[in-house]
């Protein structure tokens, strides 16, 4: 079972999908469906996949990322792998959906992709140990994430806000896979059709429940919150005109083009 969001005509809907069927629900039901998808099954409007133009599958209150969670990636950037999860936030305003363009901002000259598996919270969690979390069912789903990074700003600034936080730096989707949840997901990235990253979450230093527990000791996690779990080796610069695709055989593919930020679009409303 999986959850998505999309445009059906001019309406935004939540999609609850199985192998061959898609049902549409009003967008405000998202968090309730995340908590109890079975309760909604067969209650929605039957729709065809081709009628839907996909949006990001959730609208997180926050995106809490884990850095340097794969030894090979920490090493390629000359960093030690940390003793505790290295966390940083990306703003929800950076989220884009499948197919939407990553905009190359004029503030950087080294924009890079980072293909990641992301957890999507289905429950509210505060101050829970990994053991307590292990006893809970339906805690999270999984999706794909591109932790787009302006590497020069990340390295040059004292905080990672600019390096990680520009609009469009958080491609997410296409669907949140609710079941079955496993510990080992393959993860790869294709740049213009060529594989540039290839790994598996079994190589992560901090595993899913350890990460959720660690974050929950700091802040309350809400349904729909997104936790990208780190990138393996192979990160590299992007240029305008590229297409970057994050792929997992168990989850799907998240594909986004890179376009110029050039034309300033002012909005005051």
- Candidates 109-117, 169-177, 181-189, 232-240; binding stretch for Mg ion (CB under 5 A): 109-117
Contacts with Mg ion, 25-64, as mask; x by CB under 5 A: ----------------------------------------
Residue position matching structure tokens 């990340």? 154
- In degrees rounded to 5, what are phi and psi of residue 212? -60, -45
Q: Which residue is nearest to Mg ion (CB)?
A: 147
Contacts with Mg ion, 145-164, as mask; x by CB under 5 A: --x-----------------
Nearest-approach distance from CB 31 to Mg ion, in angstroms: 26
Query: Residue 240 contacts by C-beta under 8 Å, 6 or more apart in sequence?
Result: 104, 258, 259, 260
Residue ranges with strand state E in the chain: 2-8, 11-17, 22-26, 45-47, 52-55, 63-67, 86-90, 95-96, 102-104, 111-112, 115-121, 140-146, 149-150, 170-177, 186-191, 194-200, 226-228, 243-248, 252-260
# residues contacting Mg ion (CB under 5 A): 3
Residue 235, token pair as written in the block: 């990160």
- Candidates 2-10, 17-25, 112-120, 198-206; binding stretch for Mg ion (CB under 5 A): 112-120
Residue position matching structure tokens 């590497």? 151
Nearer to Mg ion, 110 or 129 (CB): 110
Q: What is the DSSP letter of 97?
A: -
Nearest-approach distance from CB 107 to Mg ion, in angstroms: 19
Nearer to Mg ion, 86 or 253 (CB): 86
Residue 110, token pair as written in the block: 């080294």
| Site for Mg ion contains 114 (CB under 5 A) | yes
- Candidates 68-76, 77-85, 127-135, 231-239; binding stretch for Mg ion (CB under 5 A): 231-239
Nearer to Mg ion, 146 or 213 (CB): 146
Nearest Cα to 251, choosing from 156, 166, 176, 139? Answer: 176
Nearer to Mg ion, 33 or 117 (CB): 117
| Site for Mg ion contains 144 (CB under 5 A) | no
Nearer to Mg ion, 147 or 225 (CB): 147
- In degrees rounded to 5, what are phi and psi of residue 52? -105, 135
Report the residue from 112, 146, 231, 248 that binds Mg ion according to the rule CB under 5 A.
231
Q: What is the DSSP letter of 104?
A: E
- Candidates 114-122, 157-165, 177-185, 241-249; binding stretch for Mg ion (CB under 5 A): 114-122
| Site for Mg ion contains 225 (CB under 5 A) | no
Helix H or strand E segment including 131: helix 130-134
**Residues that bind Mg ion in the complex, under the rule CB under 5 A:** 114, 147, 231
């Amino acid at each position: 079972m999986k959850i998505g969001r999309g445009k059906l005509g001019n309406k935004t809907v939540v999609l609850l999908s199985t192998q061959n069927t898609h049902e549409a629900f009003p967008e405000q039901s998202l968090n309730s469906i995340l908590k109890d998808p079975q309760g909604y099954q067969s209650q929605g409007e039957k729709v065809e996949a081709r009628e839907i133009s996909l949006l990001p599958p959730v609208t997180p209150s926050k995106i809490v990322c884990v850095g340097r969670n794969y030894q090979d990636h920490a090493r390629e950037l000359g960093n030690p792998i940390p003793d505790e999860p290295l966390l940083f936030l990306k703003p929800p305003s950076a989220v884009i959906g499948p197919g939407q363009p990553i905009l190359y901002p004029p503030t950087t000259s080294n924009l890079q992709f980072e293909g990641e598996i992301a957890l999507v919270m289905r429950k509210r969690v505060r101050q829970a140990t990994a053991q307590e979390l292990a006893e809970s069912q339906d805690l999270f789903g999984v999706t794909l994430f591109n932790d787009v990074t302006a590497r020069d700003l990340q390295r040059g600034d004292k905080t990672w806000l600019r390096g990680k936080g520009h609009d469009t730096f958080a491609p997410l989707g296409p669907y949140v896979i609710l079941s079955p949840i496993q510990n080992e997901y393959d993860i790869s990235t294709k740049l213009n059709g060529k594989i540039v990253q290839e790994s598996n979450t079994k190589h992560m230093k901090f595993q899913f429940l350890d990460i959720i527990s660690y974050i929950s000791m700091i802040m309350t996690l809400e349904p729909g919150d997104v936790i990208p779990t780190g990138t393996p080796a192979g990160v590299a610069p992007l240029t305008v005109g590229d297409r970057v695709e994050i792929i997992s055989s168990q989850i799907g593919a998240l594909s986004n083009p890179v376009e110029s930020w050039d034309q300033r679009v002012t909005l005051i409303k």
